[in-house]
């Protein structure tokens, strides 16, 4: 059944801007019911929508090597992709409230650095043995090895207002992965980043989006535009090689002109209230 047939409108927002007081019903399958019994209110408030980008990897060892490098860019991607500023009818003050909501699960947020693929598997198995999660599907890191496909799965994005901006982020992630593969093959050292700094950078990105300054991998505050330019410089050769350079940079330019999705949600709400916001984020209105 489509949304219209059910008397609803589908929206493209990282979080439901209007949340009622009644918990959302849980689909009656054994896994979802067990998850609700285990996690309670977390499931009741899981009214968030993310976007995942999968990039094929040659093997699991390569996937972990790429993960170790791509993880350093995740806070910037969180800042760019924030599309969930509203919750319970109010502005949260965050560009990506979805990041905060999703970060409450036992295994979530930024992935750690791994020695190799065996280390990855050993540590995931250890998490399952704790009983805090039931299986590998509950490893909710912002990037991980997919348990279904031979891919690296980057999961840090809010769902996007526009389909072409979702495609832009897919191109960026593919280029980051391709660049990481080349650096690994060339023996380029992985930049060191303290885990607490990376966590703080991700929280700061979810809070502020591209408004002002972000925290880089060395723990320094930098203008958001400078970090974005650094990423584009970093991935431009890979974008050129894949034939994506013109398309991705054009979409990035328009993206920056219009502002992040969180900016656009706030502008619509300020200009026309929830009627204008609804028009912006409904699928027909937000993807033209």
Dist CA 239 CA 17 (whole Å) = 35
Query: Domain range for residue 204?
Result: 46-286
Cβ neighbours of 106 (radius 10 Å): 15
| Residues pairing with 143 in the sheet | 154
Q: pLDDT tens, 194-211?
A: 999 999 999 999 999 999
Secondary structure letter of residue 137 according to DSSP? G
Its pTM stands at 0.94
Q: Please state the domain count of the chain.
A: 1
How high does pLDDT run on average in the chain? 93
Dist CA 288 CA 44 (whole Å) = 32
Q: Which two tokens stand for residue 84?
A: 């969930």
- Listing DSSP states for 189-213 in one string gives PPPP--HHHHHHHHHHHHHHTTSSE
Q: pLDDT tens, 207-227?
A: 999 998 999 999 999 999 999
- Rounded percentage of the chain residues whose pLDDT exceeds 70: 96
Dist CA 274 CA 113 (whole Å) = 42
pLDDT higher than 60, residue 286:
no
As a 3-state breakdown, the chain gives helix, strand, coil percent values, each rounded to 5, of 55, 15, 30
Dist CA 284 CA 244 (whole Å) = 27
Dist CA 37 CA 183 (whole Å) = 44
Q: Judge whether 153 lies within some domain.
A: yes
Q: Judge whether 35 lies within some domain.
A: no
- Domain of 255, CATH number, reads 3.30.590.20
Q: Judge whether 32 lies within some domain.
A: no
Q: Judge whether 92 lies within some domain.
A: yes
Q: Under a CB-based contact definition with an 8 Å cutoff, are residues 179 and 190 in contact?
A: no
The predicted structure's pLDDT at residue 285: 44
Q: Judge whether 2 lies within some domain.
A: no
Q: Judge whether 210 lies within some domain.
A: yes
Q: pLDDT tens, 11-66?
A: 999 999 987 666 677 888 887 787 777 777 777 788 899 999 999 999 999 999 99
């Amino acid at each position: 059944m489509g949304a219209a047939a059910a008397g609803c409108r589908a929206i493209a927002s990282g979080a439901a801007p209007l949340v009622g007081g009644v918990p959302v019903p849980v689909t009656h399958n054994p896994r979802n019911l067990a998850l609700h019994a285990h996690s309670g209110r977390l499931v009741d408030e899981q009214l968030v929508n993310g976007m995942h980008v999968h990039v094929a990897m040659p093997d699991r060892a390569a996937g972990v090597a790429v993960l170790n490098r791509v993880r350093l860019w995740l806070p910037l991607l969180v800042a760019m992709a924030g599309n969930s500023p509203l919750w319970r009818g109010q502005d949260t003050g965050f560009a990506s409230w979805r990041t905060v909501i999703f970060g409450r699960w036992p295994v979530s947020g930024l992935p750690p650095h791994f020695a190799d693929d065996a280390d990855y598997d050993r540590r995931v198995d250890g998490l399952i043995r704790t009983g805090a999660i039931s299986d590998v599907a509950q490893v909710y890191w912002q990037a991980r090895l997919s348990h279904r496909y031979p891919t690296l799965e980057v999961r840090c994005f809010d769902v996007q207002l526009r389909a072409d901006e979702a495609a832009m982020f897919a191109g960026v992630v593919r280029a980051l992965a391709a660049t990481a593969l080349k650096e690994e093959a060339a023996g380029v050292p992985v930049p060191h980043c303290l885990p607490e700094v990376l966590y703080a950078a991700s929280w700061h990105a979810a809070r502020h989006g591209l408004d002002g300054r972000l925290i880089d991998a060395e723990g320094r505050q930098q203008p958001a535009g400078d970090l974005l330019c650094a990423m584009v410089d970093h991935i431009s050769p890979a974008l050129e090689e894949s034939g994506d350079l013109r398309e991705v940079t054009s979409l990035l330019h328009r993206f920056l002109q219009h502002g992040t999705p969180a900016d656009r949600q706030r502008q619509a709400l300020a200009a026309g209230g929830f009627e204008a916001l609804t028009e912006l984020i409904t699928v027909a209105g937000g993807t033209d």
